[in-house]
Amino acid sequence: MHKNIDHVLVSAEQITDKAKELGRQITEEYKERKEVPLLVALLKGSVPFLSELAKHIELDIQIDFMDVSSYEGTESIGDIKINLDLHCSVKGVSILLVEDIVDTGRTLKEVTRLLKNKGAKEVKVVSLLDKPDRRVVDIKADYVGFTIPNEFVVGFGLDYNQKYRNLPYIGVLKKEIYE
């Protein structure tokens, strides 16, 4: 385990198993509705989860990326800023947003609103983690990997000041690292 990690919350194996399960569920539900989603991954945190999940979605999906920022250190800051926009047109498209974590919910709410304004047919959300205790806006992911307590976590895409994204598990960062 990395020396700055207090404890592991979700192991690499649990993540792999969950991605498989979510991939199957997504495949079945979209097949039943005869929809094929465009996966929109929010950079950079959702990249490891996207690559794990996409392998298990048996549909002819397309993938695109957006980069929005809402976070500085461990504190959420109001409105989001678009650093990188989509390449694909989303008019009439069913979008499945891929997130690393839903925390206050502000990012998802803003991005969903934006995609709908651009003419998306529907916007659904799959998130590896959900921290419901921190929610300040009314939004819920359609597919959630793990519901976690109100602790600052890193690894499997999640960072603290751009570090720890490469850890293969989700861990709780030692308090002395960010206090």
Active-site residue list: 103
Is position 107 an interface residue for ligand IMP (rule: CB under 6 A)?
Answer: yes
* Part of the chain binding ligand IMP (CB under 6 A), chosen from 26-34, 58-66, 96-104, 114-122: 96-104
Nearer to ligand IMP, 70 or 93 (CB): 70
Among 5, 38, 98, 158, binds ligand IMP (CB under 6 A): 158
Of 2, 9, 1, 5, nearest in space to 174 by CA: 5
Among 98, 106, 114, 120, binds ligand IMP (CB under 6 A): 106
Of 168, 157, 141, nearest in space to 14 by CA: 168
Note whether 169 and 8 are within 8 A (CB).
yes
- Interface with ligand IMP in residues 17-46 (CB under 6 A): 45
Contacts of 110 (CB under 8 A, 6+ apart): 68, 70, 79, 80
CB of 28 to ligand IMP, least distance (A): 27
Of 121, 118, 97, 122, nearest in space to 108 by CA: 97
Among 37, 105, 145, 171, binds ligand IMP (CB under 6 A): 105
Is position 100 an interface residue for ligand IMP (rule: CB under 6 A)?
Answer: yes
Buried b (16+ CB within 10 A) or exposed e, 168-177: ebbbbbeeeb
* Part of the chain binding ligand IMP (CB under 6 A), chosen from 9-17, 22-30, 102-110, 114-122: 102-110
Is position 76 an interface residue for ligand IMP (rule: CB under 6 A)?
Answer: yes
Binding site for ligand IMP (CB under 6 A): 45, 70-71, 76, 99-107, 152-154, 158
